[in-house]
Structures are given as structure tokens and as C-alpha cells.
Amino acid sequence: MMSARTMAVAAALLVLAACEGLFSGSRETSQPLTQAADGSFAPLRFQLTPEMNPIAFNLHGETVPNIMESTRWNSYRATLTLDGTTVASGAFNVNNPGAREQEHGGPFAQTMFYVSVPRAGEYELAIAITGPKEITIEAPRVELRRNVQPPAAKAQ
């Protein structure tokens, strides 16, 4: 039977394994996002090259301390296109970590997807909300990291 310490170490390693897009490779750029009233974001453009592969697209921001938003989340789909053709996409959620009886907000970072681009060009990133807007995100920005080490199951 596994000891509590072994289980805690295993859990910590699993959490860290999901963070390759946030910490591996090097930061190429960080761009602020403009958010619409419905929770979606205005598209951003990036100059990408195969020398940057694999690339991680990360969403950073802050949730607000609001008891009405505690334990709620927004669902999104991020899509990267080149000349109107989808190159990569990913679905993800951003949640407010508060409890029903205690408000809590704070910074978050979420890898939206990993991609290896086929050729150099100007790519467009669109982030659309896919459900009702249930939480407020402040100071949203996209961080692009190059030459990351993605989990094998998520590499494209």
C-alpha cells in the first residue's frame, strides 16, 4: 500500500507534468487581450515560424473576489488559423476558486493548446466563449512560449 507521502509526491508530479506549457521553453511574447461583454476576446495575430516549435499558447489573467462567482467558470475554445485554415485548437475552462461561503479571486495561468506550425506566417488566435459568462476575468493576456516540452498526448 502507498504511503501518504508517496501519494502526495505522485500528485505533485502530476500537477507539474501539466505545466510544461507554462514553464518550459522560453517566452516569445505576451500580448494583452481585449474582452467583449459576452466574455470572448478580440483576435490576436502572431508571426510564427517552424523554428519556434513546439509552441504553447497560455492564457493569463485574474479572477475577481466575488461571492456570486465563487465555484463558477467560463468555458472557451481557442483556435489558431493560418490563411483561414485551422492549425490548432483547444477547449479549456477558467474557474473562480472561491468557496460558496467565502469569496476568493486571484491570478491564474492556463495552457490553451500546443502546436507545431507547418510554415512561417502570420497566424490568428481567436478565443471564443462556449457557454454563459459566469466569472469576470481582469487583465487577460496571451503568453506565447517557444520550444516547449509538451505532454506527449497533447503535442500536435
Here the cell at position 4 is 501518504
Domain that holds residue 37: 4-154
Q: What is the CATH number of the domain that holds 150?
A: 2.60.120.1310
Over residues 2-60, the pLDDT tens digits come to: 455 544 444 444 444 444 455 478 888 999 999 999 999 999 999 999 999 999 999 99
Over residues 45-82, the pLDDT tens digits come to: 999 999 999 999 999 999 988 888 888 999 999 999 99
| Structural domains counted in the chain | 1
Q: What is the CA radius of gyration of the chain?
A: 17
Q: In terms of DSSP bridges, do strands 106-115 and 55-63 run parallel, antiparallel, or are they unpaired?
A: antiparallel
The answer to whether the pTM exceeds 0.85 is no
Residues for the chain: how many in total?
A: 156
Here the cell at position 61 is 489573467
Element (H, E) at 13: helix 4-17
